[in-house]
């Protein structure tokens, strides 16, 4: 049985990738999880320089999810290349580096540094973090901004470029198209949904940043819908995510059109989820007589006649 999938020039062992911000720099999990057994590891978002992020409280639990406003705390791209990448290479991880920028120049400089480093499989371009004021989501909420960031990075690297789209827009498919026209190799979606929680006794916001990003099972049906819409709109491979806790959840994304999936919030509940996802996928493929997981991608079964009705 073939669990491997292809995203642009990348051949992944299986479709399961750890989502950025929910798996540190990967190395922290190495004593519990064989990083080489995963499809990939998307590391925490990196700017050019180190960042402290927002002060606590930065995380709130919600029904079926969590809101975070970490504020992209990170060690910066240079320290990542010097301190984390060699270890990730040694562990055999397929490394997706999630990059951030306040300006176009910053995105390009971070991409350049990573292109010169040994062991980066792909660049995931974070234009969708809802928790920072400058750059980032400002690009991702504008079609021109999305196009400009991707095309600027395209000029400075030959590594696969995977813009990560925000769900905080009305028509996500048009953003997928902008990314495709600008030269992206794939897209990933979704990042978190802008959200808020209030302590009614104190009438204070529960997060120091007031607003944060909602993740976890609460967002899954919306994320699946967005993957489906993007799959209709572009030819690019899609990496889908949002609330995956079980193999059935992951299968929904694959059937909606994702070639691979990322798993984020579930790591905080069950860091050993990976072997269960892989075993569950093998079991499903056997039961449904698929020789390759790639054959399942986008195989949504809409009975004839019903699609026109749904789409009209």
Ligand X SMILES: Cc1cc2nc3c(=O)[nH]c(=O)nc-3n(C[C@H](O)[C@H](O)[C@H](O)COP(=O)(O)O)c2cc1C
Binding mask 24-53 for ligand X (x = CB under 6 A): --------------------xx--------
- Considering the complex, state which of residue 15 and residue 243 has its C-beta at the smaller distance from ligand X: 243
- Selected binder of ligand X within 216, 237, 240, 257 (CB under 6 A): 216
Measure the CA–CA gap between 228 and 98, rounded to whole angstroms.
23
Residue 235: Cβ-neighbour burial (10 angstroms; 0-12, 13-18, 19+): exposed
Q: Please give the Cα distance from 27 to 19 (Å, whole number).
A: 14
Answer yes or no: are the C-beta atoms of 302 and 102 closer than 8 Å.
no
> Alpha carbon of 300 to those of 6, 143, 226: distances in Å?
20, 28, 14
Decide if residue 114 touches ligand X (CB under 6 A): no
Q: How far is the CB of 136 from ligand X (least distance, A)?
A: 9
Which of the stretches 66-74, 169-177, 194-202, 272-280 binds ligand X when contact is defined by CB under 6 A? 66-74
Q: Does 192 bind ligand X (CB under 6 A)?
A: yes
Tell me how far, at minimum, the Cβ of 203 lies from ligand X, in Å. 25
Site string for ligand X, 240-279 (x = CB under 6 A): -xxxx------------------xxxx-------------
Task: Give CA–CA dist 312/301, Å, rounded.
Answer: 18
**How far apart are CB 303 and ligand X at their closest, in Å?**
30
Nearest distance from C-beta of residue 208 to ligand X, angstroms: 14
Burial (CB < 10 A; 0-12, 13-18, 19+), residue 302, is: exposed
Catalytic residue ranges: 129
Closest CA to 57 of 215, 209, 213: 209
């995510």: which residue's tokens? Answer: 241
Please report how close the Cβ of residue 126 comes to ligand X at its closest, in angstroms: 4
Q: ∠153-157-158 over CA atoms, to 5°?
A: 125
94 binds ligand X (CB under 6 A): no
Instruction: Please report, in angstroms and rounded to a whole number, the separation of the first and last CA atoms in the chain.
Output: 39
Residue in 58, 60, 74 with CA at minimum distance from that of residue 24: 74
**Identified binder of ligand X from the candidate list 5, 14, 15, 21, rule CB under 6 A:** 21
Nearer to ligand X, 126 or 168 (CB): 126
Q: Does 126 contact ligand X by CB under 6 A? A: yes
Size of interface with ligand X, in residues (CB under 6 A): 26
Nearer to ligand X, 268 or 302 (CB): 268
For 206, phi then psi, to 5°, come to: -80, -15
Q: Given the rule CB under 6 A, which residues bind ligand X?
A: 19-22, 44-45, 68, 70, 72, 98, 126, 129, 164, 191-192, 215-216, 219, 241-244, 263-266
């Amino acid at each position: 049985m073939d669990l491997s999938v292809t995203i642009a020039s990348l051949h992944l062992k299986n479709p399961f990738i750890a989502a950025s911000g929910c798996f540190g720099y990967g190395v922290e999990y190495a004593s519990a999880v064989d990083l080489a057994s995963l499809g990939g590891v998307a590391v925490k978002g990196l700017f050019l320089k180190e960042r402290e992020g927002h002060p606590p409280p930065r995380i709130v639990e919600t029904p079926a999810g969590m809101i975070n406003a970490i504020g992209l705390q990170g060690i910066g791209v240079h320290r990542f290349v010097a301190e984390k990448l060699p270890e990730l290479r040694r562990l055999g991880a397929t490394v997706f580096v999630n990059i951030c920028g306040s300006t176009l120049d910053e995105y390009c400089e971070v991409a350049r540094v990573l292109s010169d480093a040994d062991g980066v499989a792909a660049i995931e371009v974070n234009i969708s973090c809802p928790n920072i004021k400058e750059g980032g989501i400002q690009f991702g909420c504008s079609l021109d901004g999305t196009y400009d960031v991707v095309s600027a990075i395209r000029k400075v690297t030959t590594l696969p470029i995977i813009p990560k789209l925000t769900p905080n827009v009305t028509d996500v498919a048009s953003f997928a198209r902008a990314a495709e026209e600008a030269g992206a190799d794939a897209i990933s979606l979704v990042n978190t949904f802008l959200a808020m929680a209030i302590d009614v006794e104190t009438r204070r916001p529960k997060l120091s940043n007031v607003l944060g990003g909602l993740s976890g099972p609460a967002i899954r049906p919306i994320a699946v819908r967005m993957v489906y819409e993007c799959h209709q709109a572009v030819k690019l491979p899609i990496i889908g995510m949002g609330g995956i806790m079980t193999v059935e959840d992951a299968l929904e994304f694959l059937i909606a059109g994702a070639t691979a999936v990322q798993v984020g919030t579930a790591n905080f509940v069950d860091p050993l989820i990976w072997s269960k996802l892989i075993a569950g996928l093998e079991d499903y493929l056997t039961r449904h007589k698929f020789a390759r997981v790639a054959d399942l991608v986008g195989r949504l079964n809409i009975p004839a006649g019903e699609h026109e009705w749904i789409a009209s």
